[in-house]
Structure 1
């Protein structure tokens, strides 16, 4: 059996996402975009149970799935969904001296991410997650 296309093209698809998110956010580098995306993912993940987080990761492309679970402190307490401003500051706190995420980081990642997932499956999963998940991923 050949390697499934999802795995065979994972790096290309990841880079396509980074370029898309970079352009969506008006950033200058895919490196900066990587940190922004990781910050958004960590901020969202902190508001989910492990079961819900694994389910969410399952609708992401392979490399974004890996980024979503990277550096996961599974003992960290679950946080409530808060205002966009509070959660954006949390995004910006990841590697804060090298984080250039803008005030629109969550929405920018949401807009770009939706172009790289099966949007129907993504929305169906979000509807099963705790209150606040759907609003978090509104573009």
Structure 2
């Protein structure tokens, strides 16, 4: 069996993703883009059941998939999606005070992810998830 191209080029593709997030959010470094991306992924994960989170992980590129599941307490309580302001506060609390994400962080990462994965593919996986999941990535 040949090695999937996604795995062969995972580092290159991840660097390209971080470049796009850096540009979209006007961050100064890949470290800031990484911290912001990680926080956005982890906050989303906290609002969907494990089964749905795993379905979402399947559409992510390999290194984003790893970041999405790292350090996951699968027994943690899953809470419904709150309003955007609360989601932003949750995202900013991830690795505080190192997280310098702007107010637009969720939308910035979402825009880059839609371009990377494809909006239709995201819609298919998010459509079966709790209310708020689609809005998180598609608004």
Q: TM-score range by the shorter chain?
A: over 0.9
> After superposition, where does 1:117-128 map in structure 2 within 5 Å?
117-128=117-128
Normalised by the length of structure 1, the TM-score is 0.96
The reply to whether residue 8 of structure 1 matches residue 8 of structure 2 is yes
How many angstroms apart in 2 are the aligned matches of 1:4 and 1:59?
Answer: 14
How far 1:138 moved relative to its partner? Answer: 2.2
Q: After superposition, what is the alpha-carbon deviation per residue over 1:16-61, rounded to whole angstroms, capped at 9, x for unaligned?
A: 0000011101101111111101111111000111100000000111
What is residue 59 of structure 1 aligned with on the other side? Answer: 59
Unmatched 5+ stretches in structure 2: none
Deviating beyond 4 angstroms after TM superposition, the runs of 4 or more aligned structure 1 residues are none
Runs (5+) with no aligned partner, structure 1: none
Deviation at 1:122, TM superposition (A): 1.1
**Residue correspondence of structure 1 range 1-139 to structure 2 within 5 A:** 1-139=1-139
Q: TM-score, normalised by structure 2?
A: 0.96
* Paired residues of 1:59 and 1:121 also in contact (CA < 8 A): yes
Measure, in 1, the Cα distance between the counterparts of 2:122 and 2:138.
12
Post-superposition offset of 1:74: 1.2
CA RMSD of aligned residues (A): 0.9
CA contact (8 A) 1:59 1:118 kept: no
Judge conservation of contact 1:48–1:130 (CA < 8 Å) in 2.
Answer: yes
d(CA) in 2 for partners of 1:3, 1:138: 32
